[in-house]
Amino acid sequence: HPEIFPLVLTTKTQEIFNCRAEEDVTEEHPNKLIKKEDIIQDFKNRAGISDFHPVKKVVMEYPGEELLVVYDKEFKYGQNFYLIGTEEAKESILNPPQEQVDTEEVKESVEDVYVYKPPIPKPWVSLGSEKEIEEESVHESTIMAKYKISRKRRQFGAPIEFGDYNASSVKDSYIECTAYADKNFAVKQLEKDIAVQMIPMVMNKHTQTQWKFPRNATTQYMPREFSKEERETLLQSKDLKDFLNSISLSVEVALQQNEIMNVFIDDWKVLAEEEATFGDKTDSHLKEYQSFTDLHNIKDKTITCVCWHPTIHGLIAVSIAERLNYEERVQFSGKLLLQPSLILFWSFSDPIHPQLMLQSPDDIFCFQFCPSNPDIIAGGCINGQVVLWDISAHSERIVHVKGTGGTSKKATLKPIFLLEPDSNKEAPYVSHCAVSSIEHGHKKLITDLHWLTDNFELNRMGYAFENRSGICCQLVTCSIDCTIYFWDIRPTRPPPISTDKKKEESVEVPHDVPSTFLHLDLSWKPHIRITLAKSGTTLDHCPVKISLRDDFLHYHIQDAQTLQQKAQIAGEDPYHNLESGLAKILKPIEDYNTKFFIGTEDGEVIYTDWRMERDHDSGRLISQKPLNRYAVHDGSINTVQRSPFYQDIILTIGGWNVAIWKEGVPGPLLQSACSTKMYTAGHWSLTRPAVFFVGKDDGYIDIWDLLEKTHEPAHTQNICTTSITYIRPWMVSTRQQFVAIADYFGTLHILEIPWTLCHPLANEVQSVYHYFDREVSHLKYTEKRKEIRAKQKTDLHLESEKNKSKAVQKSKERLEAELRLNYEEYLNFEKQVLGNLGVIPETESHPHSETSFKWPTPGLSF
């Protein structure tokens, strides 16, 4: 407002002009008139420190004698007071206009008495509505066809017999006119009438009476019975006797039918057995059973390997690693040293807390339980070291054995907080027993690891001998440094060391580290080294997956009693006394198959022998050259696995396709078409020889059934939103099977396999075996046809070369005849041109003139 000027009046100024806040002026009476002369006198007394100095010009030019100052308690204009600069504004504030309230005189109105007057009919006046009604009405534009249907008079009232009649069995018995859309007579709707009607809003309301004084009330019903006299009268009545005589025959027939046939049986339940698992026998989808995710240890990590415990149901181990490439690992190498590298043990009874956590020097990418002793675990690190663990000291924490009398014991899994309620709920960390030597081991990431079975062992030359220790004591690893190493966990015979030197070199072992493999720690060396050289180059093949002949023995659940019998034969605590087996004499195994399959990083499948041979020049042990090499996959191979039912059938998965091989047969028996997404993992079914699972990069899993389809997957199902990294099925019982599927984000999915995918069909083993035999015959026929086609192509090439040589060697007479003919054509053309120019007479220009030319005799020159 231009006439309002905010002011800050201090307490001293308020006392001078008698306008003290909340005393002289309040919120109800905020106005204060101050004489202009008093303000001018204040200017003279206090000069520049006067509170009215900011509005000195307004005060000096004010026409009136008194100025209005208003108390602003709410600081509406920013200060505690404001000055009115004009007379008009001052008058409007001091004397506000009063609202003129029109007072209406209350007049007493006399109520009129309503008198009903009947309506008087009026003549109808047309306003054009009848035309609109007539336009909207529908009139028939076509003449209706009339038909008269009658029959003969003598057929009226005649008996009629009805029967079944199939119109499709008689030709031309009926004509069907189906509706169709005729494009030639399409009607385009330009206008549409729509009716809209308003309805009132409906509200539901309810009320309830409060029961303040509850009381107990009871009601008892008594049966109404006949008296003794009424019962005697009813039993002697004729109506009751007639009723019983009339229904006795029907009751007798019903009782006879109940004896012959059970009318209360449910026929639908007899058709199929009731299953305790999810779904029915026709369901083919994997059912989510459980999932495991550790929020503390698996943050920003992925699962690299999954292994079920061989003897304990419901216990599964997973290895985790950082989701980093090589450049990122080099960049964050200092940070990675502070984070532990673990193998987590999960239990179905406790999906939140891991049961055990195995520590390793670096990230583990593959590991496996020892087949003869599940307490021994071997793993391969990203830095190329092989690690060994012994969890026998913690077996009581994860296994609780209940005995029901006798020797029958069943291992049941219990979490730690149920076994030891007073202890800490955190899973114990288990340190490794031994690691291999860095100088003599792999130089890069270990991609695969396998234990050799306990029925044989290998010497330094790679020849198979009978196992002297009776337990699994050797293992094989492959790495991307183009090497395959065989390791032996038994101690070697070192040279004798003096006692003084032993005391100097003795190292104290921590109490929580088992001394099982103390003799191998940091000095473990492989006793067989294999390299796969590429033909024609100095480079080597890069193996990522291997498959030995006896790998199929590790797929099934191992019986605890069998392991106990083997342990008794090997002796008490065999892994602490491995030197005893070295004293036995080696007995060779005749005709043992030492060949195995290898999958490379380039997508090649190699079939070779692990036995070493001596170089004729240097006398050193060298690896044999690969026997066969096939480039089938267009990406790195992630699965090379033998079938659990056939020792010579191998499944390979890599890149974008799948292949099935048979040992001894050149070429794949089955090679799938390229998929739209890359395959990342796979595994055979443990109970059906025709089924195997394949994981893809987009989180889907393909389920192949060779008895249903051989060119594409039988079923496809989504598991997660990211890449699948590992697949491992396991058979809990004959009626229930699980499959563990790990994804890139570190989640482990446990799914139940349906009935159709875990229970084999009748004679399925023989059917699949015959299918493979047919594919072998077809492959041999294809190879034979290739040889025939190659021979035909060679013959055609020789024949064409022969025809070319014949065409070049023309006879001398034929050449002379062609030259003579060309020369005569030239002379005729020359005569014609000269005749047209008039150089020679026209008679001589014609080719039919008497002039003749003779071809010069051979030997003359032109």
Q: Select the more confidently predicted residue: 478 or 807.
A: 478
Among candidate residues 321, 596, 316, the one with its CA nearest the CA of residue 447: 321
Asked whether residue 568 carries a pLDDT value surpassing 60, the answer given is: no
pLDDT at residue 412 in the model: 43
Highest mean pLDDT among 119-128, 708-717, 803-812: 708-717
Query: What is the percent of the chain with per-residue pLDDT over 70, rounded to a whole number?
Result: 79
Average pLDDT, the chain: 79
* Least reliable range by pLDDT among 366-370, 501-505, 596-600, 657-661: 501-505
Measured distance CA(680)–CA(119) in Å, rounded: 92
* Residue 245 belongs to a domain: no
User: Please, are residues 252 and 244 in contact by the beta-carbon 8 Å criterion?
Assistant: no
CB contact at 8 A, 600 and 541: yes
Where is the domain boundary, 73, 94, 115? 94
Q: Which residues pair with 613 in a beta bridge?
A: 622
Average pLDDT of the residues in 488-509: 58
Which structural domain, as residue segments, surrounds residue 51? 4-94
Task: Let me know whether 759 and 821 are in one domain.
Answer: no
One DSSP character per residue, 581-637 reads GGGSPP-B-TT---EEEEEETTSEEEEEE--EEE-TTT--EEEPPPSEEEE--SS-E
Give the pair of three-digit tokens for residue 830. Answer: 């020359």
- Which tens digit of pLDDT belongs to each residue from 410-448? 444 444 434 444 344 566 888 888 999 888 889 989 999
Shared domain for 609 and 698, answered yes or no, is: yes
Q: How confident is the model at residue 402 (pLDDT cuts 50, 70, 90)?
A: very low
Is 106 contained in some domain? no
What phi and psi values does residue 661 have, to the nearest 5 degrees? -120, 160
Per DSSP, 506 falls in state -
Q: What is the mean pLDDT of residues 258-285?
A: 59
Residue 53 pLDDT > 70: yes
| Structural domain count, the chain | 3
Percent of the chain topping pLDDT 90? 20
Clarify whether residues 342 and 460 are in a common domain. yes
Q: Is 324 helix (H, G, I), strand (E, B) or coil?
A: coil
**259 domain-assigned:** no
| Cβ(751)–Cβ(576) below 8 Å | no
Which pLDDT tens digit goes with each residue over 578-617?
A: 665 566 677 888 888 889 999 999 899 999 988 888 887 7
pLDDT surpassing 90 at residue 130 = no
Least reliable range by pLDDT among 130-144, 188-202, 574-588, 725-739: 574-588
Helix (H) or strand (E) holding 668: none
**pLDDT at 862 exceeding the cut of 60:** no
Q: What pLDDT was estimated at residue 266?
A: 65
Q: Highest mean pLDDT: which of 262-266, 647-651, 730-734?
A: 647-651
Q: What is the pLDDT of residue 728?
A: 93
The 8-class DSSP code of residue 83 comes to: E
Of 631, 626, 650, nearest to 772 (Cα)?
650
Among 645, 681, 634, residue whose Cα is nearest residue 772: 645
DSSP bridge pairs for 642: 650
pLDDT greater than 60 at residue 264: yes
| Higher per-residue pLDDT: 503 or 537 | 537
**Whether residue 442 sits in one domain with residue 516:** yes
Is residue 32 a part of any domain in this protein? yes
* Last residue in a domain, options 94, 114, 147: 94
Distance of alpha carbon 492 from alpha carbon 579, whole angstroms: 8
Q: For residue 419, count other CB atoms closer than 10 A to its CB.
A: 13
Give the model confidence (pLDDT) of 305-329 as tens digits.
999 998 888 889 999 998 888 788 8
340 torsion bin: left (phi>0), alpha (psi -120 to 50), beta (else): beta
Would you say residue 340 has pLDDT above 80? yes
pLDDT tops 70 at residue 494: no
3-state secondary structure 34-79: EEHHHHHHHHHHHHHHCCCHHHHHHHHCCCCCEEEEEECCCCCCCC
Q: Are 445 and 567 part of one and the same domain?
A: yes
Please say if the pLDDT value at position 727 is more than 90: yes
Tens-place pLDDT, residues 658-707: 999 999 888 899 999 999 999 999 999 999 999 999 999 999 999 999 99
| 862 in the same domain as 722 | no
Assess whether pLDDT exceeds 70 at residue 271. no
Beta strands in 373-454 (DSSP E): 376-381, 386-390, 399-403, 409-413, 429-430, 434-435, 446-451
pLDDT at site 199: 77
Residues 658 and 578 in one domain: yes
575 closest CA partner among 746, 374, 293:
374
DSSP codes of every residue in 351-396 = SSS-SEEEEESS-EEEEEE-SS-TTEEEEEETTS-EEEEE-GGGHH
Asked if pLDDT for residue 109 goes beyond 50, the answer is no
* 704 and 600 co-located in one domain: yes
The answer to whether 752 and 286 have CB atoms below 8 angstroms apart is yes
The residue-averaged pLDDT of 472-500 equals 78
Averaged pLDDT for residues 251-259: 80
Among 739, 765, 791, give the residue marking a domain's end: 765
Q: 165 lies in a domain?
A: no
**Spatial distance between the Cα atoms of 603 and 589, rounded to a whole number of angstroms:** 34
Q: Which of 78-82, 94-98, 199-203 has the highest mean pLDDT?
A: 78-82
Between 258 and 280, where is the model more confident? 258
Q: Has residue 495 got a pLDDT over 50?
A: no
Contacts of 70 (CB under 8 A, 6+ apart): 30, 31, 32, 81, 82, 83, 84, 93
From CA 48, how far away is CA 102, in angstroms rounded?
54
pTM above 0.75, yes or no: no
| 739 — pLDDT class (breaks 50, 70, 90) | very high
pLDDT surpassing 50 at residue 68 = yes
Question: Residue 123 domain-assigned?
Answer: no
In angstroms, what CA-CA distances link 851 with 22, 474, 861? 153, 107, 22
CATH number, position 415 = 2.130.10.10
Residue 606 is predicted with a pLDDT of 92
Predicted pLDDT at 47: 76
Measured CA to CA in angstroms, residue 206 lies from 40, 214, 383 at distances of: 76, 22, 75
What is the largest distance, in Å, between two alpha-carbon atoms of the chain?
166
Query: 42 burial class (0-12, 13-18, 19+ CB within 10 angstroms)?
Result: buried
What is the C-alpha to C-alpha distance for residues 510 and 532, in angstroms, rounded to an integer?
41
User: Do 354 and 417 share a structural domain?
Assistant: yes
pLDDT score, position 214: 65
Q: Does 110 map to a domain?
A: no
Calculate the dihedral angle through the C-alpha atoms of 21, 26, 31, 34, rounding to the nearest 10 degrees: -30
pLDDT digits (tens, 9 = 90+) for 149-164: 887 888 787 887 777 7
Among 101-110, 515-524, 606-615, the range scoring the smallest mean pLDDT is 101-110
Joined together, the tokens standing for residue 212 give 């303040």
Q: Which pLDDT score is estimated for 80?
A: 81
- pLDDT of 170 > 90? The answer is no
Arithmetic mean of pLDDT, 633-638: 91
Q: What is the pLDDT of residue 573?
A: 57
Strands 409-413 and 429-430, by their bridges, are unpaired
- Looking at residue 561, what is its pLDDT? 55
- As given in the structure block, the two tokens for residue 350 are 């406790």
Residue 833: pLDDT band by 50, 70, 90 thresholds?
Answer: confident
Tokens standing for 417? 């907080």
- Neighbouring C-beta atoms of residue 359, cutoff 10 Å: 14
Tell me, what's the pLDDT at 416? Answer: 40
Are residues 837 and 758 both part of a single domain? Answer: no
Give yes or no for residue 198 having a pLDDT over 60: yes
605, exposed or middle or buried, with CB in 10 Å at 0-12, 13-18, 19+? buried
- How confident is the model at residue 225, as a pLDDT? 82
**If you average pLDDT over residues 73-92, what whole number do you get?**
82
Q: Does residue 201 lie within any of the structural domains?
A: no
Which of the four pLDDT bands, split at 50, 70 and 90, describes residue 334?
confident
pLDDT at 420: 43
- Secondary structure, 3-state, 763-820: CHHHHHHHHHHHHHHHHHHHHHHHHHHHHHHHHHHHHHHHHHHHHHCCCHHHHHHHHH
- Highest mean pLDDT pick, 46-60, 253-267, 733-747: 733-747
* Same domain membership, residue 856 and residue 712: no
Whether the predicted pLDDT of 793 surpasses 60: yes
Per-residue b or e along 738-749, where b marks 16 or more CB atoms closer than 10 Å to that residue's CB: bbbbbbbbbbbb
pLDDT of residue 223: 73
Shared-domain flag, residues 485 and 407: yes
Residue 736 has pLDDT above 70, yes or no: yes
> CA 259 to CA 614: how far, in whole Å?
87
Query: Which run of H or E residues covers position 270?
Result: helix 267-271
